[in-house]
């Protein structure tokens, strides 16, 4: 019975994370977001292609996928009748599966986003002080460079160190380290463009769909 509950948490969190918010919002506007801008379904490309309002909605929705997966999904299967703090194991499992769902959604042949907003929702539930730290790193580097990718890469690299600094927990440090490594891996195309000088800076100008 215990194993069945863990499996249920993993599957439900993955399905929640795999909801392709950016793709759905763009489709509602008659656009396939995978064919315009960077081709990514995440919030950054949604801001560029769909505008600020739609981009903000995608960002919030992707964030909530991670937060809800960590807070509500484990509670649904491991609670004792009241809304109390769930066990760390199910919460970590749900968070990781939500991020994997966003990055590799079954609905889009496992080609999804980079997981930054969804990871932020997961970190809010698990290690909020670490999130505040890496968010500060992201904001500073983004304001200095106007590259979203540089901020995201630096924040991902700092994440496990921030987790250890505040929580002194090896399990959380290893988990957040894995999340950071996955985010860096998903940015490998951005790294190549940064090295070649072809990475696009973030602007408020809305692109016209092809």
The predicted-structure confidence for 49-62, as pLDDT tens digits, reads as follows 999 999 999 999 99
Q: Is the pLDDT of residue 82 over 80?
A: no
Cβ atoms of 150 and 142 closer than 8 Å: yes
Instruction: Note whether residue 63 is domain-resident.
Output: yes
d(CA 180, CA 159) in angstroms, rounded, equals 6
Say how many domains are in the chain: 1
Q: Is the pLDDT of residue 31 over 90?
A: yes
d(CA 62, CA 64) in angstroms, rounded, equals 5
Instruction: Note whether residue 201 is domain-resident.
Output: no
Q: Residue 85 belongs to what domain range?
A: 2-196
Count of CB atoms within 10 A of residue 126's CB?
A: 23
pTM for the full model?
A: 0.87
Instruction: Note whether residue 140 is domain-resident.
Output: yes
Cβ atoms of 133 and 158 closer than 8 Å: yes
108-125 pLDDT, tens per residue?
A: 999 999 999 999 999 999
Average confidence (pLDDT) over 56-85? 83
Whole-Å CA distances, 86 to 45, 185, 210 = 35, 30, 47
Instruction: Note whether residue 24 is domain-resident.
Output: yes
């Amino acid at each position: 019975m215990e194993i069945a509950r863990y499996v249920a948490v993993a599957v439900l969190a993955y399905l929640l994370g795999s909801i392709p918010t950016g793709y759905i919002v763009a489709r509602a506007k008659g656009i396939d977001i995978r064919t315009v801008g960077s081709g990514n379904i995440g919030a950054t490309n949604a801001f560029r292609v769909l505008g600020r309002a739609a981009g903000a909605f995608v960002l919030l929705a992707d964030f909530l996928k991670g937060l809800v997966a960590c807070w509500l999904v484990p509670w649904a299967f491991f609670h004792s009748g009241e809304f109390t703090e769930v066990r760390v194991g199910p919460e970590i499992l749900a968070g990781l599966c939500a991020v994997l769902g966003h990055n590799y959604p079954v609905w889009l042949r496992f080609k999804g986003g980079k997981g930054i907003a969804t990871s932020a929702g997961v970190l809010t539930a698990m290690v909020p002080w670490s999130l505040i730290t890496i968010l500060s790193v992201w904001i500073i580097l983004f304001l200095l460079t106007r590259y979203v990718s540089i901020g995201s890469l630096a924040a991902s690299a700092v994440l496990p160190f921030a987790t250890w600094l505040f929580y002194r927990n090896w399990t959380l440090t290893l988990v957040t380290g894995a999340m950071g490594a996955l985010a860096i891996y998903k940015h490998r195309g951005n790294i190549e463009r940064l090295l070649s000088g072809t990475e696009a800076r973030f602007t408020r100008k809305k692109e016209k769909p092809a």
